[in-house]
Amino acid sequence: MIFSVEFLVGNLGNGFVALVNGRDWLLGRKLSAVDQILTALSVSRIGLLGLTFLNWWAALYCPSSLMIPSRLRAVYISWTVLNHCSLWLATSLSIYYFLRIANFSNAFFLYLRFRVRRVVWCILLTSLAPLLVNIMLMNSHIDIWVRGSGTNASHTLSREFSKLLLAPNLAFSLLPFVLSLVAVLLLLASLWQHWRCWGAVAGDKRAEAHRWALGSMAAFLLLYILFFLTFLLHVWTLEFPQKNLTSLFYKVIAVMFPTGHSIVLILGTRKLRGVALSALRRAAGSCRGVRRPPHP
């Protein structure tokens, strides 16, 4: 039940972000670098959530469908690509915010700030190298499992095979996690220093914007740390027998990151927050209009 609610909320949140930016693009409005990253991030997470939900449903109600090598290969490689895109786009977004919002006088930082779009593109293009290596590892591990699985295939899939696939993904997730951690911590330090100095100034719109940014980046960091620690714990506990409830718990916590982060992005981005509030006001007005009794 909780997993289904997370899936629904995550798709609504990420779909809203993609819909708002997609509408602006269709209307001929120029999308900023942040809007482009947010759109790509939302689309990748919609695919990731959908694939995770389908995999969970198939493992629960039709486990034999996951024993077909070609289908297994397609599912896990697709999940690897979508998870990679989700993590690296989120990392690029945190680095973009750090370079654009943080206030440091370091010469190297200023050099990167004036080339922030180029920095983001270089990060995303460079991340393709570990993705290709990860896909090759996935293919080799699936081939090993296909050759070695026998009558105990379901047991192999649930433990040894899962470890073969999740351990490399955990290793390749370490670099974007560390980059995000460093960028967000430095940004939080800069924002906190500015907010302490100017937060009490009445009418300081920049301080108000920094307060929103401080809260959203702190929430992002907590969600990312929770996701990574859950991923790490899941891989480590594959050494021991697991119950279905334990596996479901890991999935619920892992899905919390792409789901919760979409809500954080909507609340922390002025344009998205404004569109969401406007839509809620219109919906509330429509409900009041429907419930209002007709005049005699």
Residue carrying the six token digits 């009558």: 151
Contact criterion met (CB below 8 Å) for 246 and 162: no
Q: Is 281 a member of any domain?
A: no
Confidence bin at 153 (pLDDT 50/70/90): very low
Q: Is 36 a member of any domain?
A: yes
How many angstroms separate the Cα of 289 from the Cα of each of 5, 281, 295, 296? Answer: 29, 12, 12, 16
Q: Is 260 a member of any domain?
A: yes
What pLDDT sits at residue 22?
Answer: 93
Q: What mean pLDDT is predicted for residues 81-96?
A: 94
- Give the CATH number, domain containing residue 260: 1.20.1070.10
Q: How many domains does the chain have?
A: 1
> Domain of 78?
2-273
Q: How far apart are CA 205 and CA 106, in angstroms?
A: 26
> Higher confidence at residue 151 or residue 165?
165
Q: Please tell me the least confidently modeled range out of 48-62, 109-123, 192-206.
A: 192-206
CB atoms within 10 A of CB 238: 19
The length of the chain in residues reads: 296
What pLDDT sits at residue 208?
Answer: 66
Q: Is 280 a member of any domain?
A: no
Q: Is 104 a member of any domain?
A: yes
Give the residue among 239, 248, 241 at the shortest CA–CA distance from 56.
248
> Higher confidence at residue 50 or residue 58?
50
Q: Is 32 a member of any domain?
A: yes
pLDDT averaged over every residue in the chain: 83
For the chain, counts of helices (H) and of strands (E): 11, 0
Q: Is 263 a member of any domain?
A: yes
This prediction has a pTM of 0.87
